Structure 1
Amino acid sequence: MRTWGGDQVDEAVAGCLAALRPVVDRDWAAVKAGRLEWSCHTTAFHIAEDLFAYAGQLAGRAQEDYVPVELILDGDPDNSGLLQVIETMGVLLATTVRATPPGVRAFHPYPFRSADREGFAAMGIAEVLLHTHDIAEGLGLAYEPPAELCEGVLTRLFPHVKPGPAPWPTLLWATGRGDLPDRAPVTEWRWRNNLVIDAERLTLTGVRPAAARDLSLGGDGGFAWAEDGPYEGTRDAAGMLVQAYEAGVHRPEFGVFALVRHEDGRAIGGMGFHSAPDEEGRVEIGYDLVPSARGQGYATEALRALSRWALQRDDVRVVFATVERENKASRSVVTRAGFTQVSDDGTHLAYVLRRGSA
């Protein structure tokens, strides 16, 4: 899968500069930026602030809160000076993203209190695209960023949003800046960075729709896999995730997780939910491992961690798993993870883990 991050930050910032440089002689302070209450001048500085802040969070590996630092302009720069600040802060974020290893995460509140390098890149790109749009709208300029950039932001920060007829109008709608046919206006929204769950020897890393699509098509999904991975079951699960995303019913926290081994950063399998919990609070879980990682307790460890996370939620009461009768290894996994067998149809065995027993 193509690396997504620093190059896309550069592209977004270059598009911002190209759109706004022809009008640096206008009075940006006197014009409101689109639907915002801010002026175009304030909004331009806000773009630079966001790029700076995201670079700082990621570079500093902040874990509990925002790094206590702010960007302050020297004097009162004109509009050309503001664009120079945006350009500089864009380089800062792009360089930081490129220098950050894939597994590193830093604090961001929405929605799971952390983001990785792709998440920070996507948030920075979104700020550039959306606020350039706001300024352009205020100044009466035409502006439309590349569809690929918009789609990258949607699949990384808005995985719960059903794709629309085109990425840019969908991104504008998702952030309360536009309308889409047959969809109610958006009045409140937040980023949705992917979820990670730590286990003893593994990290369960939420698979984004963009990565799932790549996996389903035979790619690596952006993960460094063990030599014999990914396994067929992970690719099938990724395809189901893509279908749910395209149908607008994907709930990212109940999607697919890549099992990434701490010792070498290799993905060794996939685990996830078949869908969101039903009305009775029941959710079904499935998993697989690459052959070289089997028999070492990884699946049991991951299943315990993911089940524990699920049963701590108010909307989950029971975790359910179905195992082929002949699959003795998988039966051992669910049993060691604390599941209890509840049925046997001759071909498959059903197991459950209830709240209070995890």
Structure 2
Amino acid sequence: MGTTGAPQVEEAVASCLALLGTATDRDWDGVRADRLEWSCRRTAEHIAGDLITYAGQLAGRAQHSYLPFELALDEGTDNSGVLEVIGATGALLAAAVRTTAREVRAFHPYPFRSANREGFAAMGIAEVLLHTQDIARALGLDHQPARGLAEFVLTRIFPHVRPGADPWRTLLWATGRGELPGRATVTEWRWHNNLVLPTERLTLEGVHPAAAADLAAGGDGGFEWIPGGPFQGTREAATFMTKAYQAGLHRPEFGVFALVRREDGRAVGGMGFHSTPDAAGRTEVGYDLVEGARGQGYATEALRALTGWALARDDVRTVLATVERDNHASRAVVSRVGFKQVGEDLDELSYELGG
């Protein structure tokens, strides 16, 4: 898959500067940005402030809150100067994203209190694209960012939004800035960074839709795998997740997780849910490991963490698992976690774990 998000940050910032640079002689202070309470000038300053904030969070590895600083422009800075600051802060975010390891996470409040480099890149791109749009509408400029930028944002931090034929229009709709046929108007929204669940030796990293599509197509999903990975079951699960995302049925926390070793950042397997909980609070879990990672307790450790997280929720009461009759290793895994056998047929055994 091979993208950090840094090139997309640079592209978004360059697009912003090119468009707004055509209107630096206009009155930005006296014109309110579209749909915002801020002026166009205040909105432009906000773009720069978000870019430097995200760069600081990622570069400083902030873990518990935002770092205690904010951007202040010198008195008398004109519109061209504001754009120069946006360019500089965008370059700082791109550099932080490019030089940060994939598994590193830093604090961001929504919704699971952390984000990785792709998450911070996507949030920065979203701020640039959307607030450039707010300023452009107010100044009568035509803003049409590259399709790939909107797709990057949607697949990383809007995984709960059903994709549309036009990613830019879909992103505008998802953030309350436009209408889409057949969809209700959005009045409240937040983006959605991926969930991670740490264990003693692993991190279960939620897979976003772009990574799932790459895995389904035979790629690595942006992970560095141990030899032989990913295993076929992970690719199949990614295929199902991709179909759910395309249909607007995907709930990110009930998707696919890559099992990443904390000691070296390499993925050893996949685990996840077959679907969201039904009306009775039941959901089914599945998993596989690359052959070189089997027999070391990884599956038991990950399954205990994932089922514990699920059963602590109000919408989950029972986790199901189906195991092939002759898969004795997998049967041992579910038994160690506490699943009880509740059914069988010629080929498979059914298990349940209750809260």
Name the TM-score class by shorter chain. Answer: over 0.9
**TM (normalized to structure 2)?**
0.99
Output one character per residue of 1:47-87: Cα deviation in whole Å (capped at 9) or x when no partner.
00000110111111111111111111111210000001100
Tell me which residue corresponds to 2:36. 36
**Is the deviation greater in 29-38 or in 248-257?**
29-38
1:2 offset after TM fit, Å? 2.9
For 2:88, give the aligned amino acid: T
1:4 offset after TM fit, Å? 3.3
1:36 offset after TM fit, Å? 1.1
Output one character per residue of 1:192-218: Cα deviation in whole Å (capped at 9) or x when no partner.
000000011100000000000000000
Pairs within 5 Å for 1:319-334: 319-334=319-334
Tell me which residue corresponds to 1:118. 118
Query: SS at the partner of 1:30?
Result: coil
Query: SS at the partner of 2:270?
Result: strand
Query: SS at the partner of 1:74?
Result: coil
For 1:45, give the aligned amino acid: E
> What's the C-alpha RMSD, in Å, of the aligned pairs?
0.7
Tell me which residue corresponds to 2:4. 4
Tell me which residue corresponds to 1:337. 337
**TM (normalized to structure 1)?**
0.98
Tell me which residue corresponds to 2:14. 14
Output one character per residue of 1:1-34: Cα deviation in whole Å (capped at 9) or x when no partner.
0313111111000000000111100000111111
1:191 offset after TM fit, Å? 1.0
Tell me which residue corresponds to 2:286. 286
**Counterpart Cα distance in 2 of 1:334 and 1:255:** 19
Output one character per residue of 1:114-146: Cα deviation in whole Å (capped at 9) or x when no partner.
000000000000000000011000000001100
Pairs within 5 Å for 1:133-152: 133-152=133-152
Tell me which residue corresponds to 1:179. 179
**Counterpart Cα distance in 1 of 2:4 and 2:200:** 29
Task: Number of aligned residue pairs: give it.
Answer: 355
Tell me which residue corresponds to 2:91. 91
1:251 offset after TM fit, Å? 0.2
- Does residue 54 (structure 1) correspond to residue 54 (structure 2)? The answer is yes
Q: Would the aligned equivalents of 2:36 and 2:134 in 1 still touch at CA under 8 Å?
A: yes
- Does residue 82 (structure 1) correspond to residue 90 (structure 2)? The answer is no
Output one character per residue of 1:164-197: Cα deviation in whole Å (capped at 9) or x when no partner.
1210000000000000001011000001000000
**Where in structure 1 do 4 or more consecutive aligned residues deviate above 6 Å?**
none
Output one character per residue of 1:264-292: Cα deviation in whole Å (capped at 9) or x when no partner.
11101000000110001111000000001
**Counterpart Cα distance in 1 of 2:83 and 2:139:** 15
**Counterpart Cα distance in 2 of 1:266 and 1:113:** 23
For 2:83, give the aligned amino acid: L
1:346 offset after TM fit, Å? 2.5
Identity %: 68
**Is the deviation greater in 216-225 or in 69-78?**
69-78
1:337 offset after TM fit, Å? 1.1
Query: SS at the partner of 1:349?
Result: strand
- Does residue 68 (structure 1) correspond to residue 68 (structure 2)? The answer is yes
- Does residue 127 (structure 1) correspond to residue 105 (structure 2)? The answer is no
Tell me which residue corresponds to 1:202. 202
